[in-house]
């Protein structure tokens, strides 16, 4: 027992006992231990080399009978420290400046939530009815808030990160508390979950940009591979989300979206905050204009009954719109020390939920939207569409989608590098190139809806709502 207490005392700096000082941060034990790990020395030899710690060494090298008296929970805590010492080293320094303010964090989380699923929510309300839709929003918003807070609490249980003074990513938590055995599996789940959100956002962005080009230049072109290989140009919008009827491998809208997203994806998380603030303001203005348009167009309550005919896809689609929990550790690593996590998460989820409900129910009452279309397409194809409505339709992919895609790419890159899965070059390829290769063929047909529904059911729900709760429970027990 004395050996364990002494090990605890040696592993935690004395400054942590009096609180973390942003102006003069104490050296993290994560960094100190990583240098010993990289040099190939054991814990005992590390203390042997320090003459000032000879007395402490005598405590650590007691007989085996003393070690055998350590309780299982205490041995688990020691094991956690050994895992921590392996993942914080010199190869990763993603965001050393912790300068994201409350408003920056609020804008970041809201922009990350209001992604491609927002323009499909009226279809959910029309299919399920307003009562199941409201219940689903209430349950999922509560789960997402708790999941965000729980994963932040688990982060503080990592030695050396009691006040978020280190950089601990989502994958690091799994490796820290569960070890290498489950680390690879969870990393794959989280990677696919975050990539699913990116794939959907990229596909919707490309669709909207192609429709925008038709509105402005009366033409958009692309390379088609199915039903036959050809270079095709279209001049009219279809009732579906994409103006193309075949399977495409490249369009003008894709190139336009790529040119806007790529430079932002190469920045750090804190360097994107100014863009998230602008996105947050634009989203509020766009949603306000949409609501006014709904009332001007006229509301038909029969389009959104109390309980609809099909509620099978309600929970999964709404769940997809709250898939932001995997980005919480990256935000917590870069926030200012005085920013309240409870306040930021609570307000961001509340504001986003209100936006979702208003757009889903009022938009569903205003327009009859086909399953393979979106709210923006329904507004644009309406006979009474105004110029302002068209402008907001063009602005939405920039305000809500173009700004959220780089954030997801950055978070995926952080996790890949921090976990040691690959180097900086390969992390950029896997995080930033791979989703484009998958998203482009999904632009036409019902492929996008299928991706959202199935990924929400298995991948997104697991990464954002199951793993954080397990991490929290395990961190408290051990």
In order of their start, the domains of the chain are: 42-71 (no CATH), 102-477 (1.10.4160.10)
Q: What is the pLDDT of residue 6?
A: 39
How many C-beta neighbours within 10 Å does residue 284 have? 14
Angstrom distance (rounded) from CA 35 to CA 22: 23
Residues 6+ apart with CB under 8 A from 136: 128, 314, 315, 318
Of 460, 431, 413, nearest in space to 167 by CA:
413
Helix axes 467-477 and 170-178, enclosed angle (nearest 10): 40
Structure tokens at 55: 């007395």
Spatial strand order in the sheet of 230-234: 230-234, 220-226, 247-251
Contact between 443 and 209 (Cβ < 8 Å): no
What H or E segment, with its residue span, contains residue 248?
strand 247-251
DSSP 8-state assignment for residue 431: I
Alpha-carbon torsion, ordered 148, 152, 153, 154, to 10 deg:
100
Q: CA of 55: how far to CAs of 6, 48, 59, in Å?
A: 11, 10, 7
* 261/255 Cα distance (integer angstroms): 10
Greatest distance between any 2 Cα atoms in the chain: 85
What is the predicted pLDDT for the residue at 136? 94
Count of Cβ atoms closer than 10 Å to residue 5 Cβ: 11
pLDDT tens for the chain, residues 1 to 478: 444 343 343 333 333 333 333 333 444 433 333 333 333 333 333 333 333 343 333 333 333 433 344 444 444 444 444 444 444 443 344 445 788 999 999 999 998 888 778 888 999 999 999 999 999 999 999 999 999 999 999 999 888 888 888 888 888 888 888 777 777 888 888 888 888 888 888 888 888 888 888 888 888 998 888 888 889 888 887 766 677 877 788 889 889 989 988 888 888 888 889 989 999 999 999 999 999 999 999 999 999 999 988 888 788 789 888 988 988 998 999 899 899 999 999 999 999 999 999 999 999 999 988 877 788 888 888 888 888 988 888 788 778 878 888 988 998 998 888 877 788 889 889 998 998 888 888 777 655 666 666 766 788 888 888 999 998 998 888 6
Taking Cα atoms as reference points, which of 240, 251, 269 lies closest to residue 444? 240
In this predicted structure, what is the pLDDT of residue 138?
95
Q: What Å distances lie between residue 287 and 185, 395, 462, CA to CA? A: 39, 11, 30
For residues 12 and 22, what is the distance between their CA atoms, to the nearest angstrom? Answer: 17
**What pLDDT, on a 0 to 100 scale, did the predictor assign at position 117?**
80
250 membership: H or E segment, kind and range: strand 247-251
pLDDT at position 171 is 81
Which tokens hold the place of 272?
């994107």
Q: How many other CB atoms are found less than 10 A from the CB of residue 464? A: 29
- Dist CA 14 CA 301 (whole Å): 64
| Cβ-contact 125, 360 below 8 angstroms | yes
Say if CB 140 and CB 314 are below 8 A apart: no
CA distances from 97 to 167, 264, 365 (A): 11, 18, 46
* H helical segments located in 157-267: 170-178, 180-217, 252-265
Structural tokens at position 148? 């965000």
Structure-block tokens of residue 348: 């961001």
8-state DSSP, 300:
-
Residues in the chain: 478
Asked whether 314 and 133 are in contact (CB, 8 A), the reply is yes
CB contact burial 156-180 (16+ within 10 A = b; e otherwise): ebbbbbbebbbbbbbbbbbbbbbee
Q: Is the omega angle on the peptide bond into residue 302 within 30 degrees of 0, that is, cis?
A: no
Alpha helices in 218-340, H assignment, sequence order: 252-265, 273-297, 314-320, 328-334
Q: Closest Cα partner for 301 from 365, 245, 257, 230? A: 365
Q: What is the pLDDT of residue 249?
A: 83
What's the Cα-to-Cα distance from 474 to each of 9, 77, 146, 301, 450, rounded to whole Å?
22, 11, 16, 47, 34
The pLDDT value recorded for residue 301 is 92
Residue 119 CA from chain centroid, whole number: 19
What pLDDT was estimated at residue 36?
36
Per the DSSP assignment, residues forming a β-bridge with 251 are 222
How many of the other CB atoms lie within 10 Å of CB of 391?
12
């Amino acid at each position: 027992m004395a050996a364990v207490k002494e090990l605890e005392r040696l592993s935690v700096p004395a400054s942590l006992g009096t609180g973390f000082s942003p102006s003069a941060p104490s050296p993290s034990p994560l960094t100190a231990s990583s240098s010993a790990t990289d040099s190939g020395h054991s814990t005992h030899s590390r203390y042997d080399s320090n003459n000032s710690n000879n007395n402490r060494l005598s405590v650590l090298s007691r007989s085996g009978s003393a070690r055998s008296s350590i309780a299982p929970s205490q041995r688990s805590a020691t094991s956690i420290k050994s895992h921590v010492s392996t993942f914080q080293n010199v190869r990763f320094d993603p965001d050393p400046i912790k300068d994201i303010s409350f408003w920056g964090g609020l804008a970041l989380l809201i922009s990350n939530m209001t992604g491609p699923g927002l323009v499909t929510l009226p279809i959910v309300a029309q299919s399920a009815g307003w009562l199941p839709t409201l219940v689903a929003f209430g349950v999922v918003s509560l789960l997402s808030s708790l999941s965000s807070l729980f994963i932040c609490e688990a982060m503080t249980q990592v030695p050396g990160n009691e006040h978020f003074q280190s950089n601990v990513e989502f994958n690091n938590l799994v490796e820290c508390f569960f070890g290498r055995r489950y680390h690879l599996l969870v990393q794959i789940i989280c990677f696919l979950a975050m990539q699913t959100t990116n794939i959907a956002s990229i596909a919707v962005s490309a669709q909207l940009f192609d429709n925008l080009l038709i509105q402005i230049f009366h033409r958009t072109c692309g390379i088609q591979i199915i039903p036959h290989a050809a270079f095709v140009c279209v001049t009219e919008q279809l009732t579906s989300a994409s103006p193309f009827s075949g399977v495409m491998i490249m369009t003008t809208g894709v190139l336009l979206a790529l040119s806007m997203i790529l430079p932002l994806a190469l920045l750090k998380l804190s360097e994107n905050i100014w863009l998230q603030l602008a996105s947050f303001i634009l989203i509020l203005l766009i949603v306000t204009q949409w609501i006014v348009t709904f009332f001007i167009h006229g509301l038909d309550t029969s389009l959104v009954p109390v309980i609809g005919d099909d509620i099978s896809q309600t929970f999964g689609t709404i769940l997809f719109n709250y898939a932001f929990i995997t980005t919480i550790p990256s935000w917590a690593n870069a926030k200012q020390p005085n920013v309240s996590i409870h306040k930021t998460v609570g307000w961001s989820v509340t504001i986003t939920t209100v936006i979702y409900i208003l757009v889903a129910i009022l938009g569903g009452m205003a327009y009859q939207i086909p399953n393979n279309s979106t709210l923006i397409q329904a507004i644009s194809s309406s006979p009474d569409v105004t110029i302002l409505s068209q402008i907001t339709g063009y602005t939405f992919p920039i305000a809500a989608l173009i700004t959220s895609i780089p954030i997801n790419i950055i978070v995926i890159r952080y996790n890949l590098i921090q976990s040691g899965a690959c180097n900086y070059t390969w992390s950029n390829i896997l995080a930033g190139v791979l989703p484009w290769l998958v998203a482009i063929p999904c632009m036409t047909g019902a492929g996008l809806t299928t991706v959202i529904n199935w990924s929400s059911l298995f991948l997104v729900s697991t990464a954002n709502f199951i793993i954080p709760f397990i991490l929290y429970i395990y961190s408290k027990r051990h």
